[in-house]
Structure 1
Amino acid sequence: MAKYFDVHPDNPQPRAIAQAVEIMRSGGLIAYPTDSCFALGCQLGNAEGKARITEIRQLDDKHHFTLLCKDFAQLGQLVHIDNAVFRAIKAATPGCYTFILPATREVPRRLLHPKKKTVGVRIPDHKVAQALLTELGEPILSSTLLLPGDEEPLTQGWEIKERLDHQVDAVIDSGWCNDVPTTVVDFSSGAPEIVRRGSGDPTRFE
């Protein structure tokens, strides 16, 4: 059964955050809120965690996983980014955007798009997600919590606990969560290409 953490949305309890992060450090998979919607998350090096996300969501090998970053210092270690792209992304973060960029050697090969060698990165504007990132001290391997057959992501922690009780190790609930995934912008060719229109305003990249 998954552990259930009910945390404050603006001031998440440090003890609960520390316990959730310890579950990740022990190889666990968590469901947690972000500024766009709930996500599944584990440590970058957790191959089994990635496989569990793939199984829960029934993803194919072309799916872009997202590396959730605390700040630009973390993001810059994971992707190659030139000055023009840096300025465009900097102006839109933190926020509800995922950016697809060429990955550096810091990113495990199994997380890369098989042909493009790219990965998704983002910096969330959400107190709970940021608290997890601060406590963990490294990016979180993430994917939107959109279950097969569902048209929209789940928004309630108790429902996630009910439906995924034996598939995840912890659920972090901070109240109602947005149900619109991030806007995805592909910068891998240098120019922005909007792959998915979501909760972030896409007009700045058009």
Structure 2
Amino acid sequence: MAQYFEIHPDNPQPRLINRAADIVRNGGVIIYPTDTCYALGCQIGEKSAMERIRQIRRLDDKHPFTLICRDLSDISTYARIDNQDYRLLKSLTPGAYTFVYEATKQVPRRLLHPKRRAIGIRVPDTPIARALLGELGQPLLTTTLILPGDTQPLNDTYEMREQLAHCVDLIIDGGHCGNLPTTVIDMTGDMPQVLRIGKGDASLFTAALDA
């Protein structure tokens, strides 16, 4: 049965953040709020936890995961970013974007698409997620909390407890955070490609493509 923490969305209680980080370090799967919607997360190198997330969402091995990072220094560890892109990311993070880049060797192969060595990365603009990432000292492997058959992320923590209490180790209730996922931008080609329009303003990238 999952533990349940009510954490203040603006002033996260350090005691609860520490306990949440311990659950992740011990191989747990958590539900936590971001600046876009609720997400499932686990430690990067925890294969069994990653498989549990796949089972919850019924994902195949081609579905991309995202690394949610504390800051740009984390991003540069896991993704190959040139100076021009670094300046772009600096202007748009933290924020509601996921950027897809070629992965570095620091990213375990099992997190990547079988035919493509790329990884989604993002820096959230929300105190709970950033406090948790700071306590962990490394990114979280994450994916949006969309249940099989649904078209929108689950955002009611009561429903999460009803449906997922036996599937995860912790549910963090950080209040309402919406149900619109990130805007996803593929940065692996010559030009940025908008893969999904979400909460982040995609006009900068669509304008570049239309020019």
TM norm structure 1: 0.98
Is contact 1:85–1:190 with CA below 8 Å preserved after alignment? no
Aligned sequence identity (%): 52
Which residue in 1 is equivalent to 2:167?
167
What secondary structure is seen at the aligned counterpart in 1 of 2:194?
strand
Q: Residues 73-92 of structure 1: matches in 2 within 5 Å?
A: 73-92=73-92
Deviation (angstroms), 1:87: 1.8
Distance 2:198 2:132 in 1: 23
* Residue 95 in structure 1 maps to residue 95 in structure 2: yes
C-alpha displacement at 1:178, in angstroms? 1.3
| Distance change in 2, residues 1:190/1:161 (3 Å) | farther
Aligned to 2:66: 66
After the TM superposition, list the runs of 4 or more consecutive aligned residues in structure 1 that deviate by more than 3 angstroms.
none
**Quick one: distance in 2 between partners of 1:21 and 1:169?**
12
Q: Deviations over 1:154-200 (max 9, x none)?
A: 11222212110100000000111210000000001142000000010
How many angstroms does 1:204 deviate by?
A: 1.2
Q: Where in structure 2 are the equivalents of 1:43-58 lying within 5 Å?
A: 43-58=43-58
**Whole-Å Cα distance in 2 between the matches of residues 107 and 48 of structure 1?**
16
In the other structure, the counterpart of 2:20 is: 20
Tell me the equivalent position of 1:150: 150
CA contact (8 A) 1:158 1:173 kept: no
Q: Where does residue 202 of structure 2 map in the other structure? A: 202
Provide the C-alpha distance between the structure 2 equivalents of 1:161 and 1:170, rounded to a whole number of angstroms: 10
2:61 match: secondary structure = coil
Give TM-score, length-normalised by structure 2.
Answer: 0.95
The amino acid that maps onto 2:30 is I
Q: In the alignment, residue 109 of structure 2 is paired with which amino acid? A: R
Matched with 1:191 is 191
> After the TM superposition, which of the residue ranges 190-199 and 84-93 deviates more from structure 2?
84-93
SS at match of 1:198: coil
Note the C-alpha offset of 1:150: 1.2
| Counterpart-to-counterpart distance in 1, 2:87 and 2:62 | 28
Cα RMSD, aligned residues only: 0.8
Q: Per the alignment, in what secondary structure is the counterpart of residue 152 of structure 2?
A: coil
Q: Which residue of 2 aligns with 1:134?
A: 134
Residue 156 of structure 1 contacts residue 177 of structure 1 at CA under 8 Å; is this kept in 2?
A: no
Query: Following the alignment from structure 1 to structure 2, what is the Cα–Cα distance between the partners of residues 32 and 158?
Result: 13
